[in-house]
Structure 1
Amino acid sequence: MSIGKKRRSTGRVTLADVAQLAGVGTMTVSRALRTPEQVSDKLREKIEAAVSELGYLPNLAASSLASASSYTIAMVVPSLSESGCAEMFAGLQKVLQPAGYHIMLAESQHHLEREERLLETLLSYNLAAAVLLSVEHSQNARNALIAANIPVVEIGAVRADPIDMSIGIDYVAAMYQLTQTVIAGGYQNIGLLCANQEQWIFQQHLQGWHKALLRNHMSPHRVINAAQPASFSTGAQQLPEFLLAWPELDALVCASDELAGGALYECQRRRIKVPDNLAVVGFGNSEFSRVCQPPLTTMTIPHR
């Protein structure tokens, strides 16, 4: 005995399928989906019912290739675990989605060549704009973005020579202010921990750090720039390196809250009292910094 069952087509539902079910032309369906205000309410409801019944999903890639304009914006980040990445993505979504834009998110994994290949692929979608959570790019990537003639926003450290627009943090001023706060707390033997940063941003952190310490006649030599990602595990792994190289260390400034969190956990494991025996300071004001114990002093970065 067999039970009758309506078989679903294995092919993709097309615009023509929607038009046939709604009893209208494909151009009318396209217009209703792109600019619904240009068709009557009755016709729009009829087309929407057909779309719902068939489960039609617009082919955004084909649409952008067939049009001189697009509603797709690419966002390329060095790492999805990058401090502030999620907040920035959420902020973009909040503004762009109501305006009808879609965001394609890609990860370069801190490799310029990978970013270059990603951009080659993304630009083939006839992007409306590109947002790069990075300030270092290969020359080929820069040339491709310039040739695309679209708005390009680089988010990170402020540069004097952006591809198009640059929105960033003055890391020199931020690190200077943070380090001055630590010095004002009476700490004398201070270390700086950075990890897997773009050279441009690392140099700005280092410049602010040097400026603060030298202004207070203190040595800025206690610095580690780890090759590993700026993560909790890296922070935990690097704290022993600091203590081995500089046993006199009484404060550690970290270039991210994740690094600071890892150092904090390692202090607890070693029964090092924070901040009595060692102060740990973060950068970014992440959610973690607001709930950890002991509370983490950190620099607020307006990611949104």
Structure 2
Amino acid sequence: MSIPRKRRSTGKVTIADVAQLAGVGTMTVSRALRTPEQVSDKLREKIEAAVHELGYMPNLAASALASASSHTIAMVVPNLAEAGCSEMFAGLQQILQPAGYQIMLAESQHRVEQEEKLLETLLASNIAAAILLSVEHSTTVRQWLKNASIPVMEMGAIRSDPIDMNIGIDNVAAMYELTEMLIQRGYQNIGLLCANQEQWIFQQHLHGWYKAMLRHHMSPNRVINAALPPNFSTGASQLPEFLLAWPELDALVCVSDELACGALYECQRRRIKVPDDLAVVGFGDSDVS
């Protein structure tokens, strides 16, 4: 079956599009979505397949907002307590509020499935735009956002295939340059500490790390990716793990400044001289750095 042409000037997929693809009437689609027990299993599966193929999102606010323009922008962050999130929110508020927009803030807690649940509700609320402080999403979320016909901004890292707009740093280049700087300063046994990162960003950091280390024929295997928050306590707890596994360690790259601070505190506790015995560098240029 071919996807029908969208009927509304907004470009959003409508219930009529679903009905046409499924070969049924709009009332049947509405009934299947609202009271699925009132339609046969075969018909319901057919309608659900059409809904999935088109990425249709029922507009829960349609009756009240059909003739109104939304001035609500959804912002989904991994964790508001993490470095940069609250500052980003405050900065956006300063710009958007005078323009008449309000931000609806939600936290995904670094869970793709949680982000999907949040956006399912947010997109059904007639939002004007979506801002995502993340670049890792489920296939379903990417389809929903592409079909929503609203501005979508992904922030934090650069993707080669953004949903719409994308602002971020080149994590591959940044990690490469940071590692290269340590190598140029004479460090030979360098380690990399990662913690609770989105898989996409972790892979970018790892790419830059491997590129620099292998360019100088150095071992890139001193890596710990802890399933813990990237905070002070994680940095402190993981430094002993590095020293136990690689006692020759002379420099440690941490993917957040909070991790680096935690590692520094542990160095002080163990009377390890920094940077004479062990160099510690952070990533992110946050206030704690």
TM-score, normalization: structure 1?
0.72
Matched, 1:266 2:271: no
Equivalent residues in 2 for 1:159-170 (5 A)?
A: 159-170=159-170
Structure 1 residue runs of 5 or longer lacking an equivalent are 1-60, 290-304
The range that moved more, 235-244 or 89-98, is 89-98
CA contact (8 A) 2:62 2:126 kept: no
Distance 2:85 2:64 in 1: 27
Deviations 1:155-204 (A, max 9, x none): 12211211111112110100011111111221111000011111111111
Equivalent residues in 2 for 1:167-182 (5 A)?
A: 167-182=167-182
CA contact (8 A) 1:64 1:126 kept: no
Aligned to 1:85: 85
Structure 2 residue runs of 5 or longer lacking an equivalent are 1-60
SS of the residue aligned with 1:109? coil
Distance 2:262 2:142 in 1: 36
SS of the residue aligned with 2:194? strand
Aligned to 1:199: 199
Aligned to 1:214: 214
Distance 1:82 1:265 in 2: 20
CA displacement at 1:252 relative to structure 2: 0.3
SS of the residue aligned with 1:89? helix
Equivalent residues in 2 for 1:221-300 (5 A)?
A: 221-289=221-289
Considering only aligned residues, what root-mean-square deviation do their CA atoms show, in Å? Answer: 1.7
CA displacement at 1:143 relative to structure 2: 2.1
Could you say if the C-alpha distance between residues 276 and 68 of structure 1 is closer, same or farther in structure 2, counting changes exceeding 3 Å? Answer: same
Distance 1:81 1:194 in 2: 18
Distance 2:130 2:63 in 1: 18
CA contact (8 A) 1:254 1:260 kept: yes
CA displacement at 1:67 relative to structure 2: 4.0
CA displacement at 1:66 relative to structure 2: 5.1
CA displacement at 1:224 relative to structure 2: 0.6
Distance 1:202 1:243 in 2: 22
Indicate the percent of aligned positions where both proteins have the same amino acid: 77
Could you say if the C-alpha distance between residues 179 and 165 of structure 1 is closer, same or farther in structure 2, counting changes exceeding 3 Å? Answer: same
Matched, 1:108 2:122: no
CA contact (8 A) 1:79 1:108 kept: yes
Could you say if the C-alpha distance between residues 148 and 179 of structure 1 is closer, same or farther in structure 2, counting changes exceeding 3 Å? Answer: same
Distance 2:133 2:107 in 1: 10
Distance 1:92 1:64 in 2: 27
SS of the residue aligned with 1:235? helix
Distance 2:64 2:208 in 1: 45
Distance 2:159 2:121 in 1: 26
Distance 2:242 2:77 in 1: 30
Q: Which amino acid aligns with 1:127?
A: I
Determine which structure has more spread, i.e. the larger CA radius of gyration.
1
SS of the residue aligned with 1:287? coil
Deviations 1:1-54 (A, max 9, x none): xxxxxxxxxxxxxxxxxxxxxxxxxxxxxxxxxxxxxxxxxxxxxxxxxxxxxx
Q: Which amino acid aligns with 1:117?
A: K
TM-score, normalization: structure 2?
0.76
Distance 2:63 2:187 in 1: 60
Q: How many residues align?
A: 229
CA contact (8 A) 1:252 1:279 kept: yes
